[in-house]
Structure 1
Amino acid sequence: MRIEISLAGQYLDLFAADGARIRRYAVSTAANGAGEQVDSGRTPRGRHYVRARIGAGAPLGAVFRGRRATGELCTPAFAAAHPGRDWILTRILWLCGCEPGRNRLGKVDSMRRYIYIHGTPDDQPMGEARSHGCIRMRNAEVAELFELVPAGTIVEIRE
């Protein structure tokens, strides 16, 4: 399997080993656009792979901080009580760059930048660039994707 993410189209495609597209999900990537530099708030381009899968078995809406479940669930009331928070919910697919100097090592290292595919509150729009660099998905959809892809899955992020 492999994943392709379109920054221009704001979608994620999942392809089977034979090249057939088996899923398409609307996503939300960085409001600041594409870019690889640390602290840029941009979504890195290029070839990556899923380095770690975090959150197996967690309920939809489970809140993560520092890649650990807090035991909280993000409900509309909970989200309203914490305005401005950059929510990481349900599941995390932590990405590692494959291209030294582009998205791996030094000041362009996607993994050290904590670039994830993760869930976000379901009232947040998809198909619009609004994240801080990660790839946001609907909670049910990121849980489905999580079950379909193993660690090591290739992720290509394209403009």
Structure 2
Amino acid sequence: MTYKIDIDISQQRLYLKQNDDLIKSYPISSSKYGEGSTENSNMTPLGLHVIKEKIGTDVPINTLFISRINTKRTVNIENSRNKTKDDHITSRILWLDGLEEGKNKGKGVDSYSRYIYIHGTHEEGLIGEKASHGCIRMLNNDVIDLYNYVNIGTEVYISV
């Protein structure tokens, strides 16, 4: 089955679709710095992407990844709206590659080189508001669920 993902920044929602039928809807957190593609901006890039890599198959929920490496440790989940000093990447990683030259692909704006992911977070209490450093954060159970639907090459469209 072929799925696609639409991410609506204004709604802070990720929509999983098959053909044009809505299969699932998940709350997300995009960048607290806004939208944009400039390298080192910590903004969420817009436009058409694909999933280039999937990382974390079958690891326990809340597993901490550092530089995409499984630390074999789990983290405590912050369910309040308190912001922590950390930006943990947990449970699963869907690494995005931009498809639009000059917008989200290429020198100075490349989503893949910027390490833009859809991933789990320890700051679950902030899901639904802009809180990330550029990535799309999800609840850990949700990112695991999404991960099981999609494949490398699945299209991801990010809009406001």
TM-score normalised according to structure 1 size: 0.93
Q: Does 1:5 align with 2:35?
A: no
SS state of the match for residue 107, structure 1? coil
1:76 Cα deviation from its structure 2 partner: 4.6
1:124 Cα deviation from its structure 2 partner: 2.8
1:144 and 1:6 map into 2 onto residues whose CA distance is: 19
The sequence identity of aligned pairs, in percent, is 39
User: Does the 8 A contact of 1:63 with 1:70 survive in 2?
Assistant: yes
Gapped regions of structure 1 (runs ≥ 5): 78-82
1:87 and 1:15 map into 2 onto residues whose CA distance is: 28
2:101 and 2:69 map into 1 onto residues whose CA distance is: 28
What is the RMSD of the two structures over their aligned residues, measured on CA atoms?
Answer: 1.2
1:77-134, Cα deviation, whole Å (9 max, x unpaired): 9xxxxx5111100000000000011000100000000000000025432110000000
User: Does the 8 A contact of 1:46 with 1:156 survive in 2?
Assistant: yes
1:86 and 1:76 map into 2 onto residues whose CA distance is: 12
User: Does the 8 A contact of 2:53 with 2:95 survive in 1?
Assistant: yes
Q: Give the match for residue 116 of structure 2.
A: 115
1:72 and 1:91 map into 2 onto residues whose CA distance is: 13
User: Does the 8 A contact of 1:10 with 1:128 survive in 2?
Assistant: yes
2:17 and 2:26 map into 1 onto residues whose CA distance is: 12
Q: Does 1:40 align with 2:41?
A: yes
User: Does the 8 A contact of 1:122 with 1:139 survive in 2?
Assistant: no
Structure 1 segment 10-89 matched on structure 2, within 5 A: 10-16=12-18, 18-76=19-77, 83-89=84-90
TM-score normalised according to structure 2 size: 0.93
Q: Give the match for residue 138 of structure 2.
A: 137
